[in-house]
Amino acid sequence: MAYSGTCNCGAVQATITGEAAQTRQCWCRQCRKLASGGAAQNTMFRTSEVSLSGAVTSWSYTAASGNTLTQHFCASCGTPVYAQSSARPQFMTFRLGFLDEPHGLAPEMAIWTSEKPDWAILDPGIPHFAEQPPAPATQS
């Protein structure tokens, strides 16, 4: 199955030829700022299977893991496109909202629930992790 993605203005587009390695819902403070207060929905693809076009801007910070996380946004409309960890350049973590629908992907776990707001309701049907979950085998 192939996936595609488009930002709100259409300047940034992506084509992904491989399957998603993992789809997560993240409640960390940085993701909540990206997602206007709620959780960000993130799905990891292998960098080698992604082709991206259009201008992106980026912002980097040091995550709780000590790794540098770089967030990429459309340079025109600001749509969050993907994040990348300095520890895992072989993966690009796309924002689920950037992907064209229907894509059939849904969060498989909720992470960083220790930073969720009081009003947030977690899906009881998926595992919850207070902080970062153990790395899946596909990440190594």
Q: Rule CB under 5 A: is residue 75 a binding residue for Zn ion?
A: no
Minimum distance from residue 19 beta carbon to Zn ion (Å): 22
- 64 touches Zn ion by CB under 5 A: no
26 in contact with Zn ion (CB under 5 A): yes
- Residues 102, 91 contacting (CB under 8 angstroms): no
| Distance between CA atoms of residues 51 and 48, nearest Å | 8
By CB under 5 A, residue 7 contacts Zn ion = yes
Q: Nearest approach, Cβ of 72 to Zn ion (angstroms)? A: 12
CB 65 within 8 A of CB 87: yes
Minimum Å distance from CB 54 to Zn ion? Answer: 7
Binding Zn ion (rule: CB under 5 A), the pick from 14, 16, 28, 81 is: 28
**CA distances (Å), 124 to each of 34, 38, 76, 108, 110, in order?**
24, 17, 37, 11, 10
